[in-house]
Structure 1
């Protein structure tokens, strides 16, 4: 049995969830992230904490209490299944609504060059296998009661599907480096860092898509964070 690894967080150590291929993806500046923050709390659970006042200023629409639960009484499994269907259709607001969350802000950047955004062995791989496009996005979402999230998704295009699959294999290995996400400052959430604890990836034809979830302040349970990463990776375009 593999030895359980832990990461030190602001509230003490927590176990690292194994990723596909038997490894655990751990890094600061994760490829994609869901950062949950509470306006009434500055305590961080995963990455660096953000001041409560900063969150309130950056996401003023998250205190209106106007979020409607589109799947009242449904289990997380059902919410995740329905959210994936919405994500596959590119309906991001509907996807978030499946978890009783709403989109507050978003930022997207389309680039033709990947090396400047890559580190470690991921960068080495990209130096040998040219990427055709790098798309990075962050989506701020919230529950209307002060708890908010910033979802980041990264899509890396390649000339061949085998190149995308090869990059995924490197990306999944612990300590292999990463493709830096679009900075959280793009949503006015400067001061946030990512651990890579809740992670998912997939191959979309010749494109590698990676998604990540992370609690920063406030509370969202681990299962929901995993589910958010799991469905966000299915967005067909950013």
Structure 2
């Protein structure tokens, strides 16, 4: 696994190309939780809240098992919708030096996931997860060194419209990546509506990066 990428990493764009797009209704999980605090809202008396670090530990374990809703539930938020897109064209769906890398070193698969995470109060965030797979580990490590550089470009996240939220500009302020074998996982989060605490955005991003490829 690699360390977290720089928060001033180059920002991502949004684009769609012809491919199968699946939009799934989420189960809402802890949909009543307030995104601006990471704890239950609604004015009711609440039990003592665990620190974000403790909750993140359980959330990452759930994410590694492929349970996205359970993972976000541990952070006190719920998934309202999600969209996944599987394709092969990394060159078309990237920009900057990252795109230049794909021109010389094509990927073997590209999977993109977008989660709409929100609460009943209207606070919502977008969490993007991208999996890029290469023919071998050496190419994956080389790509990791490129995408780790601030301003080097990005693989474009899916646009917010596919999950019913406004499009946002992914700034990489909340960014995490993991490398395993020949696949690199890139996760980013941005607030969409209302108010979302930066610490919660960071936690959602780190947790989402643990999800296995669809």
TM-score of the two chains, using structure 2 as the length reference: 0.79
Q: What corresponds to 1:88 in structure 2?
A: 64
Contact 1:154 1:209 in 2 (8 A): yes
Output aligned runs, 1:1-238, within 5 Å.
20=4, 24-29=8-13, 66=32, 73-238=49-214
State the superposition RMSD in angstroms. 2.7
Alpha-carbon offset, residue 222 of structure 1: 1.6
- Judged with a 3 Å threshold, the aligned counterparts in structure 2 of structure 1 residues 100 and 172 are, in CA distance, closer, same or farther, namely same
Q: 1:80 to 1:132 in 2, by over 3 A?
A: same
Contact 2:125 2:189 (C-alpha < 8 Å) held by counterparts? no
Equivalent pairs, count? 190
CA gap of 1:87–1:65, structure 2 versus 1, over 3 A, is: closer
CA distance in 1, matches of 2:202, 2:96: 25
Structure 1: unaligned runs, 5 residues or longer: 1-18, 31-58
Confirm or deny: 8 A CA contact 2:110 2:132 kept in the other structure.
yes
The offset of 1:86, in angstroms, is 0.4
C-alpha distance 231-161 of structure 1, shift in aligned 2 (>3 A): same
Worse overlay, 99-108 or 217-226 = 217-226
Give the 3 Å change call, closer, same or farther, for CA 155–88 of structure 1 in structure 2: same
Q: TM-score, normalised by structure 1?
A: 0.72
Query: Runs (4+) of structure 1 moved beyond 4 Å?
Result: 19-23, 64-69
